[in-house]
Chain A
C-alpha cells in the first residue's frame, strides 16, 4: 500500500469516528448579526488570510505584487548581505566555443538602495517572435486536461481531453513552437505506475492537430518534472516511486528508442531543464524535497548509476541561498536562469551555465509570501514565462529584460509550457 493509500485509508477511518447526528446543532445567530451590524469580526484569528474571492467581496483589495519592470523592484533582498555587495557590471560572456558570441550585459541603475536591473543580450541572435500559444494543464470536470491559450489575448483556443477515461494530464514541455510533450497519468492511486508521454501538435490557429503516444514514453512512477530538447529528440524526466520514495532521473530518445535512468539517492529533484541539444540536463536539487539546494548538471550520455557520482555541481548549496525555486536555460543553453526564494523575496538571477558564475540579477519580487516563481523558457528562445507569482502569468523578453503581464490568470492554468 502506498503512502497516499495509507493516508486516504487513515483519513477515511478517522472521519468515520465522527458520525452525523453526534455533533452539536448549528449555533444560533449572534445578536449583532441579527441586527445586521458591521462588526468586522470575521477576520480569522491571528490575522491570517481569507480566500481571495472573499477579500474582493469585502472590498479589501488583495495585496498585489509590484508590477515587474526593468528597473523597479530590482533591489537586493532585504537582510541578505550577500545581495548587498557590490557587483561589477557583467562583462561579455566569453564564448567557450567560438560559435555564438553571447554577451550578457547587466545595467546597474544608480540611485540609493542599490537598485539594479539586468538584461541578457544575445548578440548576433535576433529575438524570435514571442510564442503565440501556450499550453497548460486545466481542470476539466474530475480530470485534468490541457488548455491551449493565445498568449496575446489570453483566450482559450482549444482543449485537449485526457487520452483515456480515468486519466489526467500531469505536466507538459515544449519542443518547438506549437509542439509539445505531455505526460498523462491515471487518476487512481492504484494506477500510479502508468504514466504515459504523448506528442502534441497545434494548428496555426491554436487548435489540437495531433495527439499521439510517444514511442518508449511509458514511465513506471510518478512524474515530478519533465523537460525536452529542441525538436524533442531527447526527453528528460524525474520520477518518484509510487510510495513517494525518491525514484530516478530518466532520459528517453524517442527516435532511437533508447532510454537511460539514474537512481536518486539524497537528491530531491523537482525541477529540471535540458539544453537545446539535449546533451546536458540541469536540475535543482531542491530543499523542498530534502535536497541540499544546489543546482547540478549531468550529461545525458553519462553511464547509468547513482546520480551523485554522475552530476557535477554548478551552483553549490548556499550560493543561491534560497529555498525551493525553479530553473530554465537561455542563450542556447549557455545561460542558466534560476528563481529562488530568499526570505520573502523571489529573485530571478542569470548564471553562466558552464561555471555557475553569476551574471546578473534580472528581477526581484519583494514581499512574496508564496513559493518562488516557476520559469519556463520558450522553445524558440528569447522569452521566459514566469508563473506561480502574483495573479497572472508574466512574460520576460530576455534580450531587453522587459516584462509584460499576460492576460492569463494563474488560476486558469497549472503546469505551463510554450
Chain B
C-alpha cells in the first residue's frame, strides 16, 4: 500500500482520538488539530523507516504529546514576555458543553504537574496500560505507576479544595 493510502487510513482511524487527546492536554481545539496535523506530516516522513508498523500508533501518540508540550511551553514563554495570546482555558464550545462538575475536574487537572496530567489522560481516557503509557512518555512503568497514584491523590485533593473554596 502506498504511503499516502497508509497515512490516510491511519488518519481516518486515529485522528479523532488524537485530536481529543491533544484537546484534553492543551484545552484548545485549534491547537489540538494543529498538533495532530503536524504529527501526521511527520508520519509521512517517518513511515519509510518504520519497520514495525505496530509502532505507528505509539509513535503518533508520542508526537502528539510532545506537540502538546511544545504548545504549552510556547504559551508559557508568551506569558512571560507579556505577549497577547489566547488563554489556555477550555474552548468556548467545550465550556458550554461541559457541566460544572466536569469543568472542575479539568480545572483541578490543570493544577497538576505536566507528567501527571499526561498519565491521567492516557490512563483514563485512552485506557492505555502502564507499559503503553511508559512507552508514550518515555519513562519507566514504575514512574507511570507512582505518578498515577500521586496524581489521583493530588487531583482528589484539588477537587475537594475547589469544591470548598470555589
- Selected contact of A7 from candidates B124, B130, B147, CB within 8 Å: B124
- Residues facing B in A173-213 (CB within 8 A) are none
Decide if A8 touches B124 in the complex (CB within 8 Å).
Answer: yes
A32 within 8 A of B: yes
- Kindly provide the distance from the CB of A24 to the nearest chain B CB, expressed in whole angstroms: 6
A-side contacts of B154, CB under 8 Å:
290
- Selected contact of A45 from candidates B40, B49, B66, B124, CB within 8 Å: B66
- Kindly provide the distance from the CB of A49 to the nearest chain B CB, expressed in whole angstroms: 3
A9 within 8 A of B: yes
Decide if B59 touches A26 in the complex (CB within 8 Å).
Answer: no
Indicate the member of A4, A6, A14, A57 with the most B CB atoms within 10 Å.
A14
B89 within 8 A of A: no
Q: A24 — nearest CB in chain B belongs to which residue?
A: B33
- Sort chain B's interface into a size bin: 35 or more
B-side contacts of A25, CB under 8 Å:
11
- Residues facing A in B83-127 (CB within 8 A) are 91, 93-94, 97-99, 101-102, 105-106, 109, 120-121, 124-125
A36 within 8 A of B: yes
Q: A52 — nearest CB in chain B belongs to which residue?
A: B135
Chain A proximity mask over B143-159: 1 for CB below 8 Å, otherwise 0: 10011011011111001
Add 19 more A-B contacts to A139-B129, A224-B149, A370-B142 (CB < 8 A).
A3-B152, A6-B159, A7-B155, A18-B29, A23-B16, A23-B36, A26-B7, A26-B12, A29-B44, A46-B69, A51-B138, A54-B52, A54-B59, A57-B52, A57-B55, A244-B156, A288-B146, A290-B154, A369-B138
A286 to B109, CA, bound (A): 22
Decide if B66 touches A48 in the complex (CB within 8 Å).
Answer: yes
Interface residues of B (CB under 8 A from A): 3-4, 7-8, 11-12, 15-16, 19-20, 23-24, 29, 32-33, 36-37, 40-52, 54-55, 58-59, 62-63, 66-67, 69-70, 73, 91, 93-94, 97-99, 101-102, 105-106, 109, 120-121, 124-125, 129-131, 135-143, 146-147, 149-150, 152-156, 159
Decide if A42 touches B153 in the complex (CB within 8 Å).
Answer: no
A27 within 8 A of B: yes
Decide if A42 touches B42 in the complex (CB within 8 Å).
Answer: yes
A-side contacts of B8, CB under 8 Å:
26
Chain B proximity mask over A70-109: 1 for CB below 8 Å, otherwise 0: 0000000000000000000000000000000000000000
A15 to B155, CA, bound (A): 20
- Residues facing B in A1-22 (CB within 8 A) are 3-4, 6-18, 20
Decide if B24 touches A33 in the complex (CB within 8 Å).
Answer: no
Decide if B142 touches A290 in the complex (CB within 8 Å).
Answer: no
Decide if B69 touches A54 in the complex (CB within 8 Å).
Answer: no
A42 to B50, CA, bound (A): 11
Decide if A371 touches B121 in the complex (CB within 8 Å).
Answer: no
Decide if B156 touches A10 in the complex (CB within 8 Å).
Answer: no
B-side contacts of A279, CB under 8 Å:
none
Query: What are 27 inter-chain pairs, A to B, with CB distance below 8 A?
Result: A3-B152, A4-B124, A8-B125, A13-B102, A17-B91, A17-B93, A17-B98, A20-B16, A24-B33, A27-B41, A30-B44, A33-B45, A42-B42, A42-B43, A50-B62, A51-B136, A53-B135, A54-B50, A57-B50, A289-B146, A289-B149, A290-B150, A370-B143, A374-B142, A387-B142, A411-B131, A414-B130
A11 to B118, CA, bound (A): 12
A26 to B44, CA, bound (A): 11
- Kindly provide the distance from the CB of A392 to the nearest chain B CB, expressed in whole angstroms: 13
A410 within 8 A of B: yes
Q: A20 — nearest CB in chain B belongs to which residue?
A: B16
Q: Give 9 nearest A-B pairs by CB, closest first.
A: A49-B138, A44-B66, A26-B11, A388-B142, A370-B140, A10-B105, A371-B143, A53-B55, A33-B44
Decide if B153 touches A414 in the complex (CB within 8 Å).
Answer: no
Q: A137 — nearest CB in chain B belongs to which residue?
A: B130
Decide if B153 touches A39 in the complex (CB within 8 Å).
Answer: no
Given that A17-B93, A51-B58, A371-B143 are contacting pairs, would A7 and B120 also be in contact in the complex, using a CB cutoff of 8 Å? Answer: yes
A-side contacts of B73, CB under 8 Å:
46
Decide if B51 touches A57 in the complex (CB within 8 Å).
Answer: yes
A36 to B58, CA, bound (A): 23
A-side contacts of B136, CB under 8 Å:
51
Decide if B33 touches A3 in the complex (CB within 8 Å).
Answer: no
Decide if B20 touches A18 in the complex (CB within 8 Å).
Answer: yes
A240 within 8 A of B: yes
A245 within 8 A of B: yes
A243 within 8 A of B: yes
- Kindly provide the distance from the CB of A272 to the nearest chain B CB, expressed in whole angstroms: 14
- Selected contact of A57 from candidates B42, B49, B152, CB within 8 Å: B49
Decide if A11 touches B16 in the complex (CB within 8 Å).
Answer: no
Q: B2 — nearest CB in chain A belongs to which residue?
A: A29
- Selected contact of B105 from candidates A7, A45, A389, CB within 8 Å: A7
A278 within 8 A of B: no
- Kindly provide the distance from the CB of A370 to the nearest chain B CB, expressed in whole angstroms: 4
Decide if A17 touches B97 in the complex (CB within 8 Å).
Answer: yes
